Each structure stands twice: as C-alpha cells, then as structure tokens.
C-alpha cells in the first residue's frame, strides 16, 4: 500500500514506466518481465518499455504483450548504446515516474512499491539497492568486486554515514520524476560511459531530492564473463570520468580525483604509475589481476577483491591519463579539481537548466574551456603538420593555419590574436559565460558582434563542448539547439540548422566526438552524426548517420556552355 502523500502526487492512471534497455539478451529480459508481472502495485498503474538496441535477434519476436498483465511497449532502434536506448524509452514512456532497470536484474514483488512510496513530491530521484546474486561465489572475480563495492555503498547510505550525491546515481536500478528528467535534458548522448553519473550530477544541480531505498531493491545477476572486457571498461571509466569533470568544473565531486582521499596510501604509488607512466602500469595491472584471480580460486575472497580493486584503480587512472593527453594535462585537471575543492571559484547561480549554466558561470571555467579548445587545436596541428586537416574533401587544399590564419602555433594569447577560429571560440565562451551568469543581454550583444565581425551567427544557447575547433570560421550558422562534442572540426560556411524530421520531431543536429564538417556543408533537423564521421564539403544532410560514416556531395555535372564563343 502506497502512502497517501505518494498517491496524492502520483494521481490517477499510470504511476510509472519501467524502461529496460536490451542488447542481445532476450532470455534475461524475458525473465525480468516475468518478475515485473507479479508486483504488489496494480498492473493498471505501470507499464514496461523495452528498447532493443539493435540486437542480433529482434526482441519483438520473443516478447508477446498479451502474456503480461501490464501494458508492454517494445521498441527497436539501430545499435547506438545503452544511454540512447534508455533515453528513447523515457521519451516513449507515459508514466509520471520513469524507472530505469538493467535487463540482467531480478526483482521481488515489492520492487515498484519500494520506489513509488518515496515519490511524494516533484523532483524526486530514488536509487534502489543492488544486491548480489545468491550464486555470487561462482561468478567471475570482477562481479564480486562490483558487488562488494555496491554493498559497501549501500551500508554507508543506510547507516547515514554518507549522503547520496548526484555522482552516485546508477541506471541499473533508479527511478525519477519523468518531467524533471526531460527538463534537464535526459542522458547526454556524448557519454558512452558514466552517462548515469553525469545525469545524476545535473539532476542534483537542478534541485532534485535524492533518496536511497533498500525496499526498491533488485538482484544483480549478470551474465558477463570476460575479464578482458572488464579491464577495458575500467580504463574507459577513467576516460569518461575526465569528461564528466570537464563538463562540471564547478563540482569537485565530479572530478576523477575525488577518489584519491578514499584510497589506501599503499595503493597510491601504483595508481600514480597509471597517471605518470601508463605504459608501465599496463603489465603491472595484468600481473595483479592474475594474482587476484588465483587468490579467488583458492577461496581467498577478501584478498582477491582487494586485488581487483587495485587493478580497477590502475586501469581507471590509465584512462584518466589517456584522456588528459599528457602529464601536463593531468596536472591541469588536478589543478581544476583543487580549485573547485577549495571553493576558489565563484558560486554558480541557481537555474532551471542547472548543468550548463553551473559549469560555465565562472571565469575559471571560461579559461579552462578555452584552454581545452586551444589544446585540441594544437593537437590537430601536431597530427597534420603546420597546416590543417583537409577540409573534409574540399579539393585537397589545407587551411593555412591552426584555426584559419597563418601556420605555426604558440601560446593561447598569441594564437587567440593570430587565429580567427580561436577568436570565434573565445567570443563564444565569453557569450556563454554571460549567459550562465544570467546576463542574457550581454550574451546577445556578443552574438551580434560575432555576426558583424565574422559573418557568423552562433546562438548563445548552442552547446559547443570544450575542445571544439573552428577553421576560418566565416559564415557559420549554428542553431540554438545544436550540440557539438569534443574534437569536432567546423570549417567555414557550415550550417547546423533547426528543422523537422519525417516524423515531425523538431530540433538541430548533435555531433558526436571527432566529427569533421567540411566547407559549406549544411546539416539540419534533430539528427545525430556518429563519432569520427566526415561530412565532405558542400553536403546537405537531414538524417542521422552512424559512427565513422563518410558523406559525400554529388559530383558536379560539367558541360559546354551554349552559344557562340568570343571573337578574337
């Protein structure tokens, strides 16, 4: 029985929509649906939305909606990752509360009631407890490590030793006010890992009430067995932890360095090796994981889990070093963490948009983002020599300088003077700083100034991640709802325009990481351009494309002119 305050908030009809992303695990999702069919909450008050993320076996052929007491919606999309699958499920959902649940979970009859009983007001987020499978002793070592980590976290939250923070949100078992989820923008498609942590930070900034429930628990029964994939995921976590920290410069707890205070002094040198000499740390991690697996086989579980924790830390900080680019980059990230920790940055203003305003509302963030733009520019310059990357098929010519002026490269101030592309990005970052501080008029003034100086129309609401590069820059037109990820290159005359797709959905393009858009290309509508794709010069694109795509414009038709030639 739900408490009266919860029923008052939830109202009539559908209380909740359970969203499950599924990829190549039809048996597990079927097992989970059987568990959901026996909830203590009446079936009329919840639905289940399963999003098949391009599985080899179409899950729609496995699930029959007529077999379940609740409303079942099964949607299939091209493989785009779990975050996009969950995002699509939340958009399809009709319930007041959206519940995200991994497909390898098991739940009891009180699962939904445990979550919904805490949703007594708008803006609530409830993290459910994850318990290990009863057969945990027979599972791989990394699953035992994962279970021990979550168990310790749950014990601390339940004992009141720690308060649930945004970075502690995981999508394996969480429920949230659907309206708030959509209002903060849902999952950021630029994140292919730690997207739940990044979303949790934005929800917290937006004023969400974060609660932990041991009654809305689920049992984690993973079928993952590959140690190599776990090692790769651990390193990938480190890479994306840096990106989370960059996006939320104002929040010290968003930084990958927040873990250092919780690490045993004995482990610190090994983790430091991952940061300072990742090539040397890799064989060390391989040796340590073999020792840990051996201890696990001997029944020394405590020692084995401790070893797995060390290995995860080494791999994590190897990923941090890789994403930072160099040891100097690591120190820059650590310095930003210490500044945020010490409270040296200005306090960001409260805002309904939360994440974007908070991360851009300080002068320190303005400089950090601009330094990231400059670092990426210099990185591309080093990759392609003194010239620039070819303009995505633009007749093989290279731009003359690292952002559209003379060649060479120097300090940030020098390059900001000499290179037009970096000048435009400086103006854009300044425009966003004004916007984040609530000075919309100043942001609009900078936008108009850019229009007059560079013939480029970039809206103050357009989101260009730190680490974008602009070549030449004249004639850009970027919509208010466009999003551009790190490593992207925009050449002159590029349009990222607002439009509608064939289903009537409106929006502007989202460019995933490292997309190159050539001279005069026009992209429009709510499309996604997959990472590392190239849009050649002069293309017109109004549909989404997958990663590493190459889009070419039709070859011009050349014919002889009609009429008489000029007389000599």
Same domain (yes/no): 393, 533: yes
Do residue 407 and residue 319 come from a single domain?
no
Burial of 35 by CB count in 10 Å (0-12 exposed, 13-18 middle, 19+ buried)? middle
Distance from C-alpha of 399 to C-alpha of 406, rounded to nearest angstrom: 9
C-alpha to C-alpha distance for 118 and 3, rounded to whole angstroms: 8
Say which CATH number the domain at 213 has: 3.90.550.10
What is the model's pLDDT at position 301? 73
Tokens 């104002």 -> residue: 250
Per-residue pLDDT, 388: 42
Residue 354 is predicted with a pLDDT of: 46
What's the CA gap between 428 and 269, in Å, rounded? 41
- For the chain, 568 residues long, the average pLDDT of each consecutive 10-residue run is 88 93 92 95 96 93 93 93 92 95 93 95 92 67 71 77 88 93 89 92 92 88 70 92 90 88 77 87 86 82 81 91 89 85 50 46 74 83 53 39 49 82 92 84 89 92 91 92 93 94 85 94 94 94 92 90 66
- Distance between CA 513 and CA 540 in Å, rounded? 20
pLDDT score recorded for residue 265: 73
Structure tokens at 53: 């993320």
| CA pair distance 404, 487, nearest whole angstrom | 16
Last residue of a domain, one of 341, 376, 407: 341
Residue 331: CA count within 13 A, CB half-sphere: 4
371, 298: one domain: no
Does residue 101 lie in a domain region?
yes
Q: Which two tokens stand for residue 299?
A: 């029944």
Same domain, residue pair 109 and 258: no
pLDDT score for 69: 96
**319 and 377 together in one domain:** no
The pLDDT, as a whole number, for residue 306 is 82
User: Does residue 277 share a domain with residue 196?
Assistant: no
Residues 170 and 200 in one domain: yes
Complete DSSP assignment for 112-123: HHHHHTT--STT
Pairing of the two strands 522-524 and 534-535: unpaired
User: How many domains does the chain fold into?
Assistant: 3
Expressed in angstroms, the distance from the first to the final Cα of the chain is 98
Pairing of strands 105-107, 97-101: unpaired
List helix spans (H) across 325-395: 327-341, 355-360, 363-384
Q: Which of 479, 476, 481 is nearest to 518 (CA)?
A: 476
Cα distance between residue 549 and residue 522, in whole Å: 16
* Cα separation, 18 vs 464, whole angstroms: 33
b (16+ CB within 10 A) / e for 367-383:
ebbbbbbbbbbbbbbee
* 269 domain residue, yes or no: yes
Pairing between β-strand 71-77 and β-strand 97-101 as defined by DSSP bridges: unpaired
pLDDT value for 135 = 64
Sheet holding 71-77, edge to edge: 71-77, 46-53, 16-22, 97-101, 173-177, 124-132, 209-220, 105-107
Residue 365 near residue 249 (C-beta atoms within 8 A): yes
Query: Token pair of 32, please?
Result: 């989970």
* Among 382, 380, 484, CA closest to 425: 484
Question: From the DSSP assignment, how many helices (H) and strands (E) are in the chain?
Answer: 17, 24
**Are both 124 and 252 inside the same structural domain?**
no
- Whether residue 347 lies inside any domain: the answer is no
Q: Residue 466: which of 511, 494, 425, 496 has the closest Cα?
A: 425
CA 45 to each of CA 3, 68, 113, 217, 289: distance values in angstroms, whole numbers, following the listed order: 15, 14, 11, 19, 47
Is 280 inside a domain boundary? yes
**How many Cα atoms are found within 13 Å in the side-chain-facing hemisphere of 346?**
16
**Residue 422 maps to a domain:** yes
Place of tokens 């948009």: 353
Q: What residues make up the domain containing 315?
A: 246-341
The answer to whether position 526 is within a domain reads yes
Dist CA 270 CA 318 (whole Å) = 11
Q: How many CB atoms lie within 10 A of CB 11?
A: 9
How far out from the chain centre does Cα 531 lie?
13
Phi, psi of 173 (to 5 degrees): -160, 90
Q: 3-state SS of 19-68?
A: EEEECCCHHHHHHHHHHHCCCCCCHHHEEEEEEEECCCCCHHHCCCHHHC
422 and 382, same domain (yes or no): yes
Q: Decide which of 341, 374, 396 is a domain's last residue.
A: 341
Same domain, residue pair 33 and 172: yes
Instruction: Output the pLDDT for position 410.
Output: 66
> What is the domain-level CATH number for residue 371?
2.160.10.10
Same domain flag for 178 and 294? no
Co-location of 11 and 104 in the same domain: yes
| 445 inside domain | yes
**Spatial distance between the Cα atoms of 119 and 553, rounded to a whole number of angstroms:** 52
Q: In whole angstroms, what separates CA 156 from the centre of its chain?
A: 27
Inside any domain, residue 398: yes
């Amino acid at each position: 029985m739900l408490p009266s305050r919860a029923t008052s908030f939830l109202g009539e009809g559908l209380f909740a929509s359970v969203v499950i992303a599924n990829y190549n695990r039809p048996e597990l999702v079927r097992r989970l649906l059987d568990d959901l069919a026996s909830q203590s909450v009446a079936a009329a008050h919840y639905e289940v939305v399963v999003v098949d993320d391009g599985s080899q076996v179409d899950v729609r052929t496995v699930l029959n909606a007529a077999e379940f007491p609740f409303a079942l919606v099964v949607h299939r999309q091209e493989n785009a990752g779990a975050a996009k699958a969950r995002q699509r499920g939340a958009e399809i959902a009709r319930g007041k509360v959206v519940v995200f649940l991994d497909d390898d979970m098991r739940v009891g009859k009180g699962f939904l009631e445990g979550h919904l009983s805490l949703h007594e007001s708008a803006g609530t987020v409830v993290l459910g407890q994850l318990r290990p499978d009863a057969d945990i002793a027979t599972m791989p070592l990394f699953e035992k490590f994962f279970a021990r980590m979550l168990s310790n976290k749950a014990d601390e939250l339940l004992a009141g030793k720690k308060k649930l923070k945004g970075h502690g949100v995981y999508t394996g078992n969480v429920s949230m006010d659907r309206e708030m989820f959509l209002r903060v923008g849902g999952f950021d498609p630029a994140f292919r890992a730690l997207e739940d942590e990044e979303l949790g930070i934005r929800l917290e900034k937006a004023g969400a009430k974060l609660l932990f429930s041991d009654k809305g628990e689920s049992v984690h029964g993973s079928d993952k067995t590959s140690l190599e994939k776990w090692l790769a995921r651990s390193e990938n976590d480190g890479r994306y932890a840096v990106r989370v920290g960059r996006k939320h410069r104002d929040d010290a707890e968003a930084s990958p360095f927040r873990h250092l205070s919780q690490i045993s002094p004995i482990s610190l040198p090994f983790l430091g090796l991952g940061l300072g000499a990742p090539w040397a740390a890799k064989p060390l991690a391989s040796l340590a994981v073999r020792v840990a697996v051996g201890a696990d086989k001997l029944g020394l579980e405590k020692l084995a889990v401790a070893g797995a924790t060390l290995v995860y830390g080494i791999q994590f900080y190897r990923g941090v070093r890789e994403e930072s680019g160099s040891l100097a980059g690591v120190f820059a990230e650590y310095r930003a963490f210490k500044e945020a920790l010490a409270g040296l940055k200005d306090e960001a203003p409260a805002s309904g948009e939360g994440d974007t305003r908070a991360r851009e509302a300080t002068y320190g963030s303005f400089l950090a983002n601009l330094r990231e733009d400059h670092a990426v520019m210099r990185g591309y310059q080093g990759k392609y020599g003194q010239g620039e990357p070819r303009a995505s098929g633009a007749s093989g010519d290279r731009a003359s300088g690292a952002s559209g002026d003379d060649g060479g490269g120097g300090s940030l101030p020098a390059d900001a003077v000499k290179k037009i592309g970096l000048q435009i990005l400086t103006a854009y970052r300044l425009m966003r700083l004004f916007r984040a501080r609530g000075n919309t008029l100043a942001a609009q003034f900078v936008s108009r100034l850019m229009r007059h100086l560079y013939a480029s129309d970039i809206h103050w609401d357009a989101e260009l991640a730190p680490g974008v590069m602009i070549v030449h820059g004249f004639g850009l037109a970027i919509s208010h709802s466009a999003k551009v990820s790190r490593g992207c290159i925009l050449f002159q005359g590029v349009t990222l325009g607002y439009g509608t797709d064939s289903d009537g959905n409106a929006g502007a393009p989202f460019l995933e990481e490292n997309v190159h858009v050539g001279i005069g290309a026009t992209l429009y509508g709510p499309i996604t351009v997959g990472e590392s794709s190239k849009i050649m010069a002069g293309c017109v694109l109004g549909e989404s494309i997958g990663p590493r795509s190459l889009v070419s414009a039709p070859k011009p038709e050349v014919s002889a002119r009609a009429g008489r030639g000029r007389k000599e």
